[in-house]
Structure 1
């Protein structure tokens, strides 16, 4: 009963916001658009996108423009949610804010280490990032190399973890991303274990644990498929949290001689069995990761609607929706057939019901 009163107004607000999410039929209509202009006009049926694009000429937008506008709109909506909430939901949203900030930091680092112009207009993000995190936006914008970037993080909570990587002389984006991700998960696990109780704690820990398991499995998979990386190096770059994958299974995956051996181990794991439950056919690892999170968020919301589950479900759904919208628009730009866009992005034919 306590959670009912605690989360009643938040759950009502989230239900209202969720009504504007794009349905499967809405996505199908978007996939059937023949031009970018048609697709943008289709998006105008939704208040979220009308608000996001109200100050721009949709006929002049490129992918980078659309991506940045939608990222900013999600931060704006997130800012409104923060003002609406207090207590435990506000603390949870602070962690989501950290996730958004780390995403932006990794984007900046990627551009610096790739020696290309920044792909983000940081001035637009300053009101969402600078004040509460002590980030110096001007210094981040002017950073010419990774040393200057890390130096600009002094007096922030992100300095120690990135400076440790810098001290090794690394210029590999993955090393910095791993350091930031590991720090983020450490903070999140402490929150779930100390601030939450009962089912709410278990639900948040299941999402965090699943994310860590998949990030580790994805990295092992990629080293087998794309890179020649020593097992010692792979072990050193894994996030030190395990949920449904045991340390022994991780060890077997790392030491697998090829992808066939890797997937034998995977298929016999908890996630391999879950894959058979969620899919009619065997999906790729990336797709399975996304669907597993979707399954968990949906299940938690149904089982415990008056909790953080409704809020986290909405935030994930909006994030996934924006990602799909960007992919669909890019596919239309390259004149892919509608049926290919539906099968490649929505992948409806491979899914089982979540019911």
Structure 2
């Protein structure tokens, strides 16, 4: 009863916000538009953007503004839910928020490694991050070297995992991005039992357990298929979590003699039983399908739990990805049919 009462108000709020997410009909209408200003003008009339973009002038936007504005709608909706949430619910949101910090850090790292990239302006996000984060966006965006970037993280939880990189080899952008992902995923799994109880804990385990298993399957396959990495190097990339994939299955997949043996091992896993069409070549597609199915199914069954929050953020972020794709297609003059096809593939 306590859980029901604590989540009833928030669930109502999230359902109202979820009803404002873009529909298939709206994506079809967007695909017919001919310019980015037309897309912005269209979105300004839609329930999910009307309030947020009321003062936005679509004719004064620069080329790179749209992606940031769309991303910021995620932040704005996060802030709405956070304001409405109780301390227990904010615990999950604080943990989830780290994915936004990592996205910002990866963008800054790309600029450090690619000296030809233009300066990075994250001023739109400053107020949001000032309220929820210890990151100094100004220092991160001004860092010209990897040393400056890592030093700007002193006093945050990300300094320790990144400061250890490069002691034995010359690291690449991939190494820093992977270190951030691994830290984030391992952190979620290590603190879940301390931070959550009962139904919330069960939903965290199910959602993230499925996510981590499917990510590990992807990384093993890609590491073998495209990068021809040695087993020891593949193990170093994996999230140290076993949910439906046993340690024995992970070992067999990593050390499979060839792609046919990899396929045979994959066919014995719980995920193949769940999805008979699962194959090495479509692991990325089924990663997305599996996570969406888990979140939607669990949110329907347990609307008064933390999974309701996770499910909303997943769908909002997916909406932003699809709109970003649509805008790029329109910008490059693709036909409505091609644009809609790319939207559906996202």
TM-score in terms of structure 2 length:
0.90
Aligned: 1:25 with 2:49: no
SS at structure 1 position matched to 2:64: helix
Could you tell me which runs of 5 or more consecutive residues in structure 1 were left unpaired when the two chains were aligned: 349-355
> Comparing 195-204 with 148-157, which one deviates more in the overlay?
195-204
CA distance in structure 1 between the aligned counterparts of 2:150 and 2:157, rounded to whole angstroms: 11
Given the superposition, is the C-alpha separation of residues 58 and 164 from structure 1 closer, same or farther in structure 2, using an over 3 Å criterion? same
Instruction: Give the corresponding residue for 1:194.
Output: 194
Assess if the C-alpha contact under 8 Å between 1:146 and 1:171 holds in 2: no
- The CA deviation string for residues 161-188 of structure 1, in whole angstroms up to 9 with x for no partner, is 1111143444322222222222222332
Deviation per residue, 1:264-283 (Å, 9 max, x gap): 43333222232338x9x998
Q: C-alpha displacement at 1:156, in angstroms? A: 0.9
Residues 82-101 of structure 1: pairs in structure 2 closer than 5 A = 82-101=82-101
Structure 2 runs not aligned, ≥5 long: none
What is the alpha-carbon distance in structure 1 between the residues aligned to residue 34 and residue 258 of structure 2? 42
For residues 103-159 of structure 1, the C-alpha deviation after alignment (integer angstroms, 9 at most, x for no partner) is 111111122123343674223322222465432333212211111110111111111
Show the counterpart of 1:275: 275
Q: Deviations over 1:314-343 (max 9, x none)?
A: 111101111111112212223333334334
| Partner deviation per Cα, 1:302-324 (whole Å, 9 max, x = no partner) | 11111112211111110111111
Give the 3-state SS of the residue equivalent to 1:134 in structure 2: coil
> Counterpart of 1:352?
none
Match of 2:235 in 1: 235
1:334 to 329, 332, 335: 332
In structure 1, the residue matched to 2:318 is 320
Question: 8 Å contact 1:52–1:70 — kept in the other structure?
Answer: no
CA shift, 1:262, in A, is: 3.2
Q: How does 1:138-149 map to 2 (within 5 A)?
A: 138-149=138-149
Q: CA, structure 1 residues 343+258, in 2 after alignment: closer, same or farther (shift >3 Å)?
A: farther
TM-score by length of 1: 0.88
| Closer/same/farther in 2, CA of residues 103 and 231 from structure 1, 3 Å limit | same
Instruction: Give, in angstroms, the shift of residue 196 of structure 1.
Output: 2.1
Rounded Cα–Cα distance in structure 1 between residues aligned with 2:186 and 2:23:
35
Q: Which structure ranks higher in relative contact order (CA pairs < 8 Å, sequence separation ≥ 6)?
A: 2
Question: How far apart, CA to CA, are the structure 2 residues paired with 1:344 and 1:274?
Answer: 27
Equivalent position of 2:157 in the other structure: 157
The CA deviation at 1:22 is: 0.9
Aligned length: 346
Whether the aligned pair in 1 keeps the contact of 2:223 and 2:229 (CA below 8 Å) is: yes
Q: 2:284 & 2:60 partners in 1: Cα distance?
A: 32
Please give the alpha-carbon distance, in whole angstroms, between the structure 2 residues aligned to 1:59 and 1:265.
55
- Between 74-83 and 5-14, report the one with greater CA deviation: 74-83
Q: CA RMSD in A?
A: 2.6
1:301 — aligned with what? 299
Q: For the residues of structure 2 that align with 1:346 and 1:168, how far apart are their CA atoms?
A: 43
Please state how far the C-alpha of 1:83 moved relative to its aligned partner: 1.9
Distance, in Å, in 2 between the alignment partners of 1:125 and 1:190 is 29
Q: Describe the shift of the 1:309–1:332 C-alpha distance in structure 2 as closer, same or farther (beyond 3 A).
A: same
Of the structure 1 ranges 288-297 and 244-253, higher mean CA displacement relative to structure 2 is found in 244-253
- Change beyond 3 A, Cα 1:317–1:331: same
Contact kept, 8 Å, 2:120 with 2:141, in 1: the verdict is no
Aligned CA distance change for structure 1 residues 59 and 214 (closer, same or farther; 3 Å): farther
Distance 1:25 1:131, change over 3 A: closer
Separation in structure 1 between the aligned mates of residue 159 and residue 298 of structure 2, nearest angstrom? 35
Q: Does 1:346 align with 2:344?
A: yes
2:245 paired with 1:214: no
Equivalent residue for 1:244?
244
